Amino acid sequence: MLSPAWTTDWMSEEGRRKLREYGIAPPRAASSRRALFGIERVACPQCGSEDTEVLSEFGSTACKALWRCKSCREPFDYFKCH
Ligand SMILES: [Zn+2]
């Protein structure tokens, strides 16, 4: 594995805070299943807006999707670990 400790560590409050510092939207445990149906709202890590859209189901890794915020027009990675 090239990406150790991503599954549990990133789900903690500390991990989620770090993800936001990296400009990555942390995964939402409660609604992550709904992402499969494309109805999930992902908040922008830059401005917090939920007016976002998915650009690519696969970002820089298979574990991340590429999203873009319609408010600040910044693209960001969304973590979608299974
Ligand atoms: Zn934004």
* Res 32 pLDDT > 60: no
57 three-class SS:
coil
Reported pTM: 0.53
Q: For the segment 7-31, what is each residue's pLDDT rounded down to a tens digit? A: 555 568 888 888 888 888 877 655 5
* Res 2 pLDDT > 60: no
Closest alpha carbon to 58 in 79, 30, 44: 79
Q: For the segment 34-69, what is each residue's pLDDT rounded down to a tens digit? A: 555 555 678 899 999 999 998 988 766 778 889 999
User: What are φ and ψ of residue 81, in 5° steps?
Assistant: -65, 145
Contact 67, 28 (CB under 8 A): no
Distance between Cα 37 and ligand 1 center (Å)? 23
Instruction: Dihedral sign for Cα 7, 32, 16, 68, please.
Output: positive
> Which stretch of DSSP H or E encloses residue 21?
helix 13-21
Distance between Cα 35 and ligand 1 center (Å)? 19
* Predicted local confidence at residue 1, as pLDDT: 47
Q: What is the DSSP letter of 26?
A: P
* Predicted local confidence at residue 47, as pLDDT: 94
